[in-house]
């Protein structure tokens, strides 16, 4: 039997195991949906008659009496998937400083007056330094779209008003303002609005203390954490497969083929490695596609899909290498499950896969302890790629550590491996 037949055999065995399929693909999705739902209810929405599923846009409106400012707030509230929440300026600044909110939109007090006079005016999105860049960019796009619509509408109405005034002052000009002339004027106003909109949106980051506890978005927290948790729990499949075949003597018979010990163990890892990659895709697809359907926020996938793919492959590799090591530590079938559960759940907790790392870091010395498990490095790498817009150049230290764990686990497994 060559190595490829060996891999295909294990692949077929795993797919016939319904329990393994349930553990790999169904349970992570159930965990994400349940925990996201419970967290939503804990945010204070559980007591309302209708669960509010739209993401908030915090607004500090200094032009409260201005009709155009009120119109802008209404348009933001009507944006799909979002709702406007009004705050006074002092409360908004305190919330930003204490990191109770990630960002808020500041509408200046002369907003309506300047627009009525055809002057340009700026909206400012005040953003906490630690707020994730991807979510901020999404909100900037939403606000800019609403502001552009308002700018275009005002400029077109202003152009029509001017033409009406010219006609009233000069009756002979009526023949000048043909349908074609009006359409050309509307097109010109549209182009002017695109190039120089009346309402511009800028971002500003205030100087605030950075040791405060940040606001945790549900999808950002649960999806990467649960993904890393279940990916490493999948290493049990490698450990159990190796243990069973070692005890049954299958591996010793395979050694009659021209395969060295490391190649044999690597061949056992490949099917689980591929299944783990599929598991990662299913989990992140749940965060990006299923959670938005439930109104619980969309998981940002970052600006560098290649960095996400490389990170996922290294995490899957680390998990399967860990499974090889676990199989060499167990003497009985019960020890395989016992060691796996004790080691992986504890490591998952310490790595921030169960509780967000930002909370664990409040515990003295926990920062040091967290660095001792690969789960912590894996979750940090995912967060950097997904919510901070980082690429491979930025996260290579994390990936190098994960690769180091993988090499160490595999080397220990090869060194300790016995056929009986």
Q: Is the pLDDT of residue 201 over 80?
A: yes
> pLDDT tens, 16-63?
767 667 767 788 888 888 877 766 665 544 434 344 446 788 999 999
pLDDT band per the 50, 70, 90 thresholds, residue 128: confident
Residue 177 class from Cβ within 10 Å (0-12 exposed, 13-18 middle, 19+ buried)? Answer: middle
Taking the C-alpha atoms of residue 318 and residue 300, their distance in angstroms, rounded to an integer, is: 24
Distance, in Å, from the CA atom of 282 to the CA atom of 129, rounded to the nearest integer, reads 32
For residues 199 and 148, is the Cβ–Cβ distance under 8 A? Answer: yes
DSSP 345: H
Q: Which CATH class is domain 54-204?
A: alpha beta
- Please answer whether residues 341 and 229 qualify as being in contact, where contact means their C-beta atoms are separated by less than 8 angstroms: no
- Per DSSP, the three-state class of 259 is coil
What CA–CA distance (Å, rounded) separates 171 from 133?
Answer: 56
Q: What percent of the chain has pLDDT over 90?
A: 22
State phi, psi for 200 to the nearest 5 degrees. -105, 155
DSSP state, residue 52 = -
In DSSP terms, 105 is beta-bridged to: 59, 125
Which structure tokens are listed for 134?
A: 């991807």
State residue 204 phi and psi, 5-degree precision: -135, 135
Q: Where are the domains of the chain?
A: 3-42+216-416, 54-204
**Count of C-beta atoms within a 10 Å radius of residue 253:** 12
Say what the pTM is.
Answer: 0.60
Residue 358's pLDDT is what?
63
Q: What is the pLDDT of residues 156-180, one digit of tens each?
A: 766 666 555 555 555 555 555 555 5
Residue owning tokens 């060499």: 328
- Summarised one tens digit per residue, pLDDT across range 364-392 is 778 788 889 999 999 989 988 887 678 89
Helix (H) / strand (E) containing 68: helix 67-78
Report the C-alpha gap between 148 and 285 in whole angstroms: 32
Long-range contacts of 253-261 (CB under 8 A, 24+ apart): 254/1, 254/6, 255/419, 257/1, 257/2, 259/3, 261/414, 261/417
Distances (CA, A) of 4 to 237, 264, 296, 341: 19, 11, 43, 31
pLDDT of residue 416: 83
CA distance 227 to 376: 12
């Amino acid at each position: 039997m060559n190595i490829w037949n060996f891999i295909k055999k294990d692949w077929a065995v795993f797919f016939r195991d319904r329990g393994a399929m349930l553990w790999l693909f169904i349970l992570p999705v159930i965990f994400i949906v349940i925990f996201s739902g419970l967290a939503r209810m804990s945010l204070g929405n559980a007591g309302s008659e209708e669960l509010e599923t739209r993401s908030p846009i915090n607004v500090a409106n200094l032009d409260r009496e201005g009709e155009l400012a009120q119109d802008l707030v209404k348009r933001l509230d009507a944006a799909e998937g979002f709702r406007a929440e009004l705050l006074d300026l002092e409360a908004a600044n305190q919330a930003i400083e204490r990191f109770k909110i990630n960002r808020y939109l500041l509408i200046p007090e002369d907003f309506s007056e300047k627009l009525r006079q055809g002057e340009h005016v700026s909206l400012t999105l005040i953003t906490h330094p630690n707020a994730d860049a991807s979510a901020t960019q999404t909100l900037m796009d939403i606000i800019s779209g609403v502001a552009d619509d308002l700018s275009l509408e005002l400029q077109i109405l202003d152009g029509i008003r001017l033409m009406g005034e010219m006609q009233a002052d000069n009756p002979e000009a009526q023949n000048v303002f043909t349908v074609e002339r009006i359409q050309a004027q509307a097109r010109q106003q549209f182009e002017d609005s695109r190039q120089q909109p009346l309402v511009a949106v800028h971002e500003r980051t205030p100087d605030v203390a950075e040791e405060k506890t940040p606001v945790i978005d549900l999808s950002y927290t649960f999806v990467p954490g649960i993904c890393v948790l279940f990916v490493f729990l999948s290493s049990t499949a490698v450990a159990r497969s190796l243990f069973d075949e070692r005890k049954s003597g299958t591996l010793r018979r395979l050694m009659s083929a021209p395969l060295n010990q490391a190649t044999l163990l690597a061949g056992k890892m490949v099917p689980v490695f591929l299944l783990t990659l599929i598991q990662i895709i299913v989990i992140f697809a749940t965060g990006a596609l299923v959670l938005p359907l439930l109104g619980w926020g969309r998981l940002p996938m970052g600006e560098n899909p290649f960095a996400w793919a490389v990170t996922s492959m290294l995490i899957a590799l680390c998990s399967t290498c860990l499974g090889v090591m676990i199989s060499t530590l167990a003497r009985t079938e019960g020890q395989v499950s016992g060691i796996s559960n004790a080691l992986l759940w504890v490591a998952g907790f310490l790595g921030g896969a169960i509780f967000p790392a930002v909370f664990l870091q409040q515990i003295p010395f926990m920062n040091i302890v967290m660095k001792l498990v690969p789960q912590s490095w894996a979750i940090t790498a995912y967060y950097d790629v997904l919510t901070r817009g980082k690429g491979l150049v930025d996260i290579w230290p994390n990936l190098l550590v994960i690769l180091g764990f993988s090499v160490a686990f595999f080397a220990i497994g090869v060194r300790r491996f016995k056929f009986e």
